[in-house]
């Protein structure tokens, strides 16, 4: 018996000559592991194109499989990206976001609120006519709310220092190095107030400030989550957005 569900590809890893292991984030189960056999003939069967990073799929998989990996039987592309894999900046962002999301969601359970946020955000990134250079900053900020550590920035208050460990704004500098100063807190407040629904309104044109904001957001995630590790795609993103 097979099970049908929708999901977003977070990572795809070759396994032998003709198989691939796919990590798929789903609204019901969170991140699941699937093993698929890639077809080399004709138009039927599973293709590598199904498993590009952040692809939104409708899949059928075996209900019971030996071990943790479920056998993938069918996959259909739910939304055909028009720009995500072809525009250089969006392609680089998709590489970064897929690696980032795999790190933060690999142990997450299903969340019926988180999944629509991810799906609609990716569709917005693909379809927009606006400059996408600030998209990932707003996305990472809003994602914190779904993961349970949205920063308490006091949006109606004058910016103070933000303690990255405690997740709250302080009137004075904390006695450890994990904080951002009031000028950057003001930027975080803008990212949080706009949210993903209004991300094109974020007017951050300085590459230096954009890089600084990304590094501090990643540090915040690293301090809130266990075993975050390094991001291989970060250096590529920095070059593309430089």
Position 52 scores a pLDDT of 96
Position 107 scores a pLDDT of 86
Model-level pTM?
0.93
pLDDT digits (tens, 9 = 90+) for 106-125: 988 889 999 999 999 999 99
Position 16 scores a pLDDT of 85
The whole-angstrom separation of Cα 166 and Cα 140 is: 18
Nearest to 81 by CA among 57, 117, 115: 57
Position 241 scores a pLDDT of 83
Position 126 scores a pLDDT of 97
Q: Give the residue extent of every domain in the chain.
A: 2-77, 88-240
Determine whether domain 2-77 maps to CATH 3.40.640.10. no
pLDDT digits (tens, 9 = 90+) for 132-144: 999 999 999 999 9
* pLDDT < 50 regions, the chain: none
The whole-angstrom separation of Cα 151 and Cα 156 is: 14
Nearest to 36 by CA among 80, 75, 76: 75
Domains 2-77 and 88-240 share a fold: no
Architecture of domain 88-240: Up-down Bundle (1.20)
Q: Is the dihedral of CA 155, 142, 113, 231 positive or negative?
A: negative
- Decide: 80 and 122 in contact? Cβ < 8 Å: no
Position 159 scores a pLDDT of 82
Position 6 scores a pLDDT of 96
Nearest to 61 by CA among 5, 115, 110: 5
Position 44 scores a pLDDT of 59
Structure tokens at 120: 């609609």
């Amino acid at each position: 018996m097979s099970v049908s569900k929708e999901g977003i590809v977070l990572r795809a890893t070759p396994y032998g000559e003709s198989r691939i292991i796919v990590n798929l984030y789903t609204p019901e189960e969170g991140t699941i592991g699937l093993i698929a056999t890639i077809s080399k003939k004709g138009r039927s069967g599973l293709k590598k194109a199904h498993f590009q990073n952040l692809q939104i799929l409708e899949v059928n998989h075996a209900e019971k499989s030996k071990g943790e990996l479920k056998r993938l039987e069918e996959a259909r592309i739910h939304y055909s990206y028009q720009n995500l894999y072809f525009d250089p900046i969006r392609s680089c962002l998709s590489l970064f976001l897929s690696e980032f999301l795999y790190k933060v969601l690999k142990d997450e359970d299903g969340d019926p609120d988180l999944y629509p946020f991810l799906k609609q955000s990716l569709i917005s990134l693909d379809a927009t006519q606006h400059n996408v250079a600030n998209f990932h900053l707003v996305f990472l900020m809003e994602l914190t709310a779904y993961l349970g550590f949205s920063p308490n920035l006091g949006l109606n208050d004058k910016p103070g220092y933000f303690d990255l460990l405690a997740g709250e704004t302080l009137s004075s500098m904390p006695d450890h190095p994990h904080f951002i100063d009031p000028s950057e807190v003001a930027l975080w407040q803008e990212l949080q107030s706009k949210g993903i629904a209004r991300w094109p309104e974020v007017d951050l044109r300085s590459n230096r400030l954009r890089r600084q904001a990304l590094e501090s957001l990643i540090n915040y995630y690293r301090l809130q989550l266990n075993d975050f590790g390094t991001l291989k795609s970060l250096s590529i993103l920095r070059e593309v957005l430089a």
